[in-house]
Chain A
Amino acid sequence: MTVALNELDSKFKYDVAEEPGGENIKLCFACGLCTASCPVADIDPEYNPRKIIHMVLLGMREAVLSSNFPWLCTQCYTCQAHCPQNVNFSDVMKALRSMAVKEGYVHPSFADQIKEIDTFSQKLRHQMVLSIVARKSEELKADVEKLAKEALEKARKEV
């Protein structure tokens, strides 16, 4: 498929740059360090920060704002800490989330749901780790799924 650049919204990058956090989006020189450092990219081959930035720069407004990308970011700031051009990609993601809400691609409550998921998955991880720390010096075969189930049980009880 050929992407016709003239048909895209070339103003998109300027709009992102206007959003808080999006200021440096255009400085990207596509070195790929963000993708190399991204823990989400490690588990999801479709998730690619460099490509997302490039899509913004090319003006792919709809494709970006309607996509899952802004929401899959865990906001760990690893990319941001290493970016040689100070693109501040974690913050760019925040800007894109806010634009997606503003422009009606998602319901305004969506951001809160994401927040809850973040907190809950943190709790889950916390519990999973705690359940094995007592056996730190033993060799364990990690049965992550089982640990997750137990953690989930525990979380339910707490609720």
Chain B
Amino acid sequence: MESKNSLVGAALVVGGGIGGMQAALDLAESGYHVYLVEKSPAIGGAMAQLDKTFPTLDCSMCILSPKLIECGRHPNIELLSCSELVEVNGEPGDFKAKVLKHPRYVDVARCTGCAECAEVCPVELPNEFEQDLASRKAIFRPFAQAFPNAFAIEKRERPPCTLTCPAGINIQGYVALIAKRKYREALSLIREWVPIPGVLGRICPAPCEEKCNRKLLEEPVAIRVLKRFAADMVEDELSPPEIEEKEERVAIIGSGPAGLTCAHYLRREGYQVTVFEALPVVGGMLYVGIPEYRLPKNVVEKEIESIKRLGIEIKTNTPIGTEIGIKDLLEQGYEAVFISVGAHRSQRLGVPGENAERVIHGVDFLRDINLGKEVKTKGKVVIIGGGDVAIDSARSVLRLGADEVVVLYRRTRVEMPAREEEVKAAEEEGVKIEYLVAPVEILCENGKVTGVKCTRMQLGEPDVTGRKRPIPIPGSEFDLKVDMVIPAIGQTPDLSFVENSGINISSRGTIQVDPMTLETGCEGVFSGGDCQTGPSIAVEAVAAGARAAESIIRYINHQDLKEGRTVERKLSGVSFIPFGMARESRQKMPTIPVEERKVSFKEIELGFPEDMAIREASRCLACGICSECMQCVAACKANAIDHNMREEIVQLNVGSVVLCPGFDEFDPGPLFNYGYRRYSNVVTSIEFERMLSASGPYQGELKRPSDGRPPQRIAWIQCVGSRDESLNRGYCSSVCCTYAVKQAIIAKEHVPLELEETIFFMDIRTQGKDFDKFYRRGEEEGIEFMRARVYRIEESDGTGSLLLKYVGEDDKPSTREFDLVVLSVGLQPSSTAIELAKKLGIQLNKYGFCHTNTFSPVETSRPGIFAAGAFQGPKDIPETVMQASGAAGSVSALLAPARNTLIKKKQYPPERDVSGEEPRIGVFICHCGINIGGVVNVPDVTDYAKTLPGVVYAEDNLYTCSQDTQERIKAMAKEHGLNRVVVASCTPRTHEPLFQETIREAGLNKYLFEFANIRDQCSWVHMHEPEKATEKAKDLLGMAVAKVRLKKPLKPLSLPVNHSALVIGGGIAGMVSALNLAEQGFEVHLIERSSELGGMARKIHHTIDNGDVQTFLGDLIKKVKEHTKVRVYYNTWIVDAYGYVGHFTTEIMRYRGRVVEKIEHGATIIATGAQEYKPNGEYLYGRDPRVLTQLELEDEIARESPDIINCDNVVMIQCVGSRNGQRPYCSRVCCNQAIKNALKLKEIRPEMNIYILYRDMRTYGFYEEHYREARQQGVVFLRYEPEDKPRVSQERKSGQLLIRVESKDPVLGEKVAIDADILALSVPMVPPEEARELAMLYKVPLNEDGFFLEAHVKLRPVDFATDGIFVCGLAHAPKSIEESITQAKAAASRATTILAKDTVTAEGIVASVNENICSGCGICEALCPYGAITIDRDKNVAKVNEALCKGCGTCCAACPSGAAQQRSFTSEQISAMLDAILEV
């Protein structure tokens, strides 16, 4: 045993499903700090998706959501949502756990769950909670009742478009906004990265589109045109940002895209910017380098205008270098200089004749026409070069009236640098292109061009640029007769002005800079754009301008220029296509016709009309999921959203770990013959749950996905992904049969018409407690159960109806039509859980579920790490809850010495005595953003509140539940001396505990609070009637105020706890419970009726997987006997019991009445077991010694009785005495018991013939493997119908008395007869007689079958409705040893939540009896479900035991005289509320 010092009093629970929540709650209530790690944004797990739960048909969410709140608000449960456990190091008791917290991008503490962010989010995604039957936004809350009630943003890596864009524009963001018709928002988002969207939307070669994932499907999204669309759609000017003026001045040389961008971003930060421009116009190459038909001047001018409007001075006709140099600028007080003069100098051909008249270089030519100079262009014009300038020149000269335009290019089309679509357009317009031709000389006469001497070329080896080098072909010269030559073979910057300034020039004639900061060799001087890179695309210049602005700001502020910046651009983003994405071709932008194009400089491209733009924008695949459009940030009034959150690693020190990561559903997609995903009316069971759910995608209206019509014929197909070796899913998923029955029952309630329902199954496995009755209920309600495995589903053409092919009872292939088919999909291990197990080094079974042992069912292979729920195997909710509590019990035993070392206890200020004070009521009314405020006139309601009697203060809040409002409520309580508080907001279900906590912190009794729900009951249901909603809100508020006036402080009883436990029953369950509690340090009284410990297990020799029961039992008995904390009472009967939680007294009688003792204890565990049913003469039992029960057979096998092990023919009959009218329950273990015995016999004598006659083989879960093994060993299984049960008779044959078993074999279609040497009967377990007595003594109920009835079959499977009493083992229901051990640990864990405390607090809202009126009639006593009311015979009045009272109000409703009153719900208070509403 480790010393106390090395144990850590904290535990980590993985998984926030029902299992994880239960484990966390048990541990937290037992004195441990709990970290609950959940990978999704909210706790709740799969149970939250269910519509109803079987067999009681409770609403799943209704029973779950109080648990969510209890777990979420527990002071000792720390929830880490969006988190994963990645590593556990150290020793049991002292682990170091590493948890990866993914960014949620929403601050849980600030988010109020108002949902306004989701309203504005443009990204629609399939809603996985709704099984993709509905959509959700990228910012989302998994479901309405989620805890935490906060949103989360789903993001992936930035999309490839943005990662490719040199300027890093958030492309997905503006595309998404365009799709939602939010053009202004789109434009202002683009402006965050580029100030000239209209320009770039026309001329950018759009490298982003090259990387667009949509390209993998068909064509990229037309990103460029969408950008243009956004710019064009916003006619007026966006309102300029607020600028905070700064004094520092910056000079920018050159007003091209780089210079303008740099100026823009510097100015936005408040710097004083002057731009020096040598030309008479602003815009650089944008203005003088690009022809009007591609980029109209008014577009350039408009965007320059908006930049100028920020307050930038632009000096045109002001070249730097002639009068003022760079040094001068710095001396004149400019803090920094940005050089962005572009590359405007033409590269020369270097051939004779280049200086002749009518030879004009491309850049100069374009500049001249853009500046409006007259250029004569007649006759034949030759353009030399293959770049954009060459093509622009060719198309321009054509428009100016040239007769013939020929482009000469020295390489081939493949190497041509001009953009393909430009070249094509030029050709369409009539430009001719000659490839592999180069000029040798320009021929002239009288200084005027007459022709060009050319040579033909061929391609040689690649040169440094990677393009093939052109080589002249000797002797191929020829002359062209031309009237004008435009050489356009490249441009270089003119950098003569930087000489002697310390700026270095590269060998390529460009300015050298630091690539990260763009700083030149001269301090404070930066450079970017074409003059630094050589001729490039505009968006590169824009990117450089923005980068330089960042550098200059850092430079001015004396910050490190490099910190946190990179040069590299990550070009690859995620590459994927979402499953099932439909093809949709790219929208083609309209253009003006070629004829019109050739003769004018009118803009060719017309942009997208609105409908086209929206369709095109909708093609975006949202690769980053969240588009970062920032609409949510703008919408969130609570300032809860932070897109800059990063993932973080959290190191936790914990004593133990419980893994409850849950399961995945089997994906039936690969079962091609069922057509899932091809036929929309084939749905999975979990989809069907959502379809049934009132809060689901169809609001509870049952309809077919294909056409929305209500189905009239529904089929369920069982075992989809279960009991299927071909899919490596050999196990049974245990829960599907019962949930199919449940769904069929519920569906009937949804469809008013007659609904035909058929469940196709192999064996109906309703082996759980009371599940078989539920199955029979289904049969009675008319559900058809068809024993058949469906081979194929086909859609009946065009109707959406489905044809199922199967072999039914008649043994013939049949086909039947249904409107809807539900595939009952199995449970499989969750993929993330498998990964986690690998990381933690935990052993999994062959299917990937967590491996555990029969005798230690919640322990993983790694000490100190426990497992519970479907991670360990397919199971239903109560079994999950039991395992979770069981795991908590194991953790609690391991860490007991460290209990209470790390828990937080909340301290409250002393409670103010308000008695004798007049009511001073404070009212707080919530807008809930626009959730309430958008419908209800909240200020009006607030004014009204001020008029109500007793109200001394009223205010409205944006969010009354926000953290700052809690502080405000406390402050107002103090300032105004409030002694009552009313909140009018949402639902008390989630928020009442919060406000009660707040007023406790303000020193008020928490019962001096009242709630008015003006969201659900006003703004939601009367959304379209704001006036009436407002009136109703006033009414509800008036009622709340009327009631709170009369409210009184309540003091719930605080009861001291006796720290010892009483365990009744010394079988495995009782002993495991006792030992667990003893190991935790609690004193245990273990009561056993017989003279020996061991119970039923003494008759069991081994388990089905060959576990040695007797060895285990011997060890357990020894440990119990030796444990100093356990006192065993043998031969002991309980004669009386009374008391309440924390303080019970049980009177016992020992040695048949000789000694009577009293035991005081804080908690009670009932583990009284069960016994085997003995058939009374049935099937010759008791009349022929060769007819045995399975337990008797097991004993004979263990003793190797020769009569048994040497026989040839053994017959076993299942369901003898169970699943019948008398005992309508399934005894759960008998199928496994039969298989266990059969396998043992086969092991001893393989040639023995064994026949098992059964109704349904119920080898649930992994027991299915043993069923398979039995078949493999040659055990023969023969099914019988309950109406035609096997007949057994004694036959005399050749002098021997034989046992003849006859049965109808449905597969053979004949009667079969077997002469058996041994007949084994599988009989049920039945509760012992003493159960009834105990139930009376402890006032706890039994079910119809005589087993103890738990408080709630799903969520409180070991508790009773009466606090402090628990049940486990066979006393609860038939179950395996493994399940008994689990439940015993669970009961111990639940008992610990009481025993670990010094006091327990009872409910404050309890009944009280006015003794003056009470007549002692006793009606209340008879009705109280908790035994909390008794009639005092002396005074003849009813007395309430407040420790037992649960405040249900039954007695108050029943009391004929009104003597019984419910505190906080008195008649007076209720009347006041009614008066308030009737007066108004």
Contact = CB atoms under 8 A, between A and B. Distances in A.
B725 A85 contact: yes
Nearest to B727: A84
Contacts of B752: none
B392 interface: no
A10 interface: yes
A29 B1271 contact: yes
B813 A42 contact: yes
B1209 A35 contact: no
Contact of A6 (B1247, B1307, B1315): B1315
A6 to B, nearest CB: 5
Contacts of A29: 723, 762, 1257, 1267-1268, 1271, 1277
A153 to B, nearest CB: 34
B792 interface: yes
A61 interface: no
B673 A82 contact: yes
A75 interface: no
Contacts of B806: 32, 36
Given A29-B1271, A32-B789, A48 B1311 contact: no
Contacts of B1276: 57-58
A2 B1312 contact: yes
B807 interface: yes
B719 interface: yes
B726 A84 contact: yes
Interface string A30-49: 11110111100110010010
A36 B725 CA distance: 19
Interface in A49-90: 50-51, 54-55, 57-58, 82-86
Nearest to B1267: A29
B812 interface: yes
A3 interface: yes
Contacts of A1: 1310-1311
A83 B1276 CA distance: 19
Interface in A1-27: 1-6, 10-11, 13-14, 26-27
A36 B1313 contact: no
A91 to B, nearest CB: 14
Given A2-B1302, A36-B791, A54 B1274 contact: no
B914 to A, nearest CB: 71
Nearest to B1314: A5
Nearest to B1272: A26
B792 to A, nearest CB: 7
Contacts of A82: 673, 726, 791
Contacts of B724: 84
Interface residues of A, number: 37
A2 B1301 CA distance: 11
B725 A6 contact: no
A148 interface: no
B807 A35 contact: yes
Contact of A35 (B813, B1272, B1305): B813
B1310 A41 contact: no
B356 interface: no
Best-surrounded residue of A13, A26, A31, A57 (most CB of chain B within 10 A): A31
Given A2-B1311, A5-B1251, A6-B1315, A84 B719 contact: yes
A54 B788 contact: no
A85 B788 contact: no
A28 interface: yes
B673 A27 contact: no
A18 to B, nearest CB: 13
B792 A54 contact: no
A54 B811 CA distance: 13
A102 B1272 CA distance: 25
A149 B1308 CA distance: 39
B1249 A37 contact: no
Contacts, number: 116
Contacts of A26: 1271-1274
Contacts of B805: 36-37
Contacts of A51: 811, 1307-1309
Best-surrounded residue of A6, A50, A83, A85 (most CB of chain B within 10 A): A6
B1274 A32 contact: no
Contact of A3 (B1271, B1272, B1312): B1312
Given A51-B1308, A54-B1307, A82-B791, A45 B812 contact: yes
A35 to B, nearest CB: 4
Contacts of A45: 812
A48 B725 contact: no
Contact of B813 (A5, A36, A58): A36
A50 B807 contact: yes
A51 B1314 CA distance: 19
Contacts of A28: 1271
Nearest to B1301: A5
B1268 A31 contact: no
Contacts of B727: 84
B790 interface: yes
B726 A86 contact: yes
A32 B807 contact: yes
A37 B792 contact: yes
Contacts of A4: 1312-1315
A5 B726 contact: no
A30 B724 CA distance: 13
Best-surrounded residue of A28, A36, A55 (most CB of chain B within 10 A): A36
A83 B726 contact: yes
Interface in B1283-1311: 1302, 1305, 1307-1311
Contacts of A27: 725, 1268, 1271-1272
Contacts of A30: 1277, 1279, 1307
Given A32-B788, A32-B806, A36-B805, A2 B1274 contact: no
A58 B1274 CA distance: 10
Contact of A84 (B725, B788, B1279, B1313): B725
B1256 to A, nearest CB: 12
B902 to A, nearest CB: 50
Best-surrounded residue of B807, B1209, B1257, B1308 (most CB of chain A within 10 A): B807
A79 B1257 CA distance: 23
Contacts of B1271: 26-29
A46 to B, nearest CB: 10
A34 B791 CA distance: 8
Contacts of B790: 36
A10 B1251 CA distance: 11
Contacts of B1247: 11
Best-surrounded residue of A2, A32, A51 (most CB of chain B within 10 A): A32
Nearest to B1308: A54
Given A13-B1274, A26-B1274, A36-B790, A3 B1249 contact: no
Interface string B785-827: 0001111100000000000011100011100000000000000
A138 B1273 CA distance: 57
B175 to A, nearest CB: 45
Contacts of B807: 32-33, 35-36, 41, 50
B1310 A3 contact: yes
B74 to A, nearest CB: 45
A10 to B, nearest CB: 5
17 contacts: A4-B1315, A5-B1251, A5-B1314, A6-B1315, A14-B1274, A27-B1268, A29-B1267, A29-B1268, A31-B762, A31-B788, A36-B790, A36-B792, A37-B805, A58-B1305, A82-B791, A84-B723, A84-B725
Interface of B: 673, 719, 723-727, 762, 788-792, 805-807, 811-813, 1209, 1247, 1249, 1251, 1257, 1267-1268, 1271-1274, 1276-1277, 1279, 1302, 1305, 1307-1315
Given A31-B762, A54-B1305, A84-B725, 10 more contacts: A2-B1310, A2-B1313, A4-B1315, A30-B1277, A32-B811, A45-B812, A51-B811, A55-B1308, A83-B726, A84-B726
6 closest A-B pairs by beta carbon, nearest first, are: A36-B791, A31-B789, A84-B724, A32-B807, A54-B1307, A36-B807
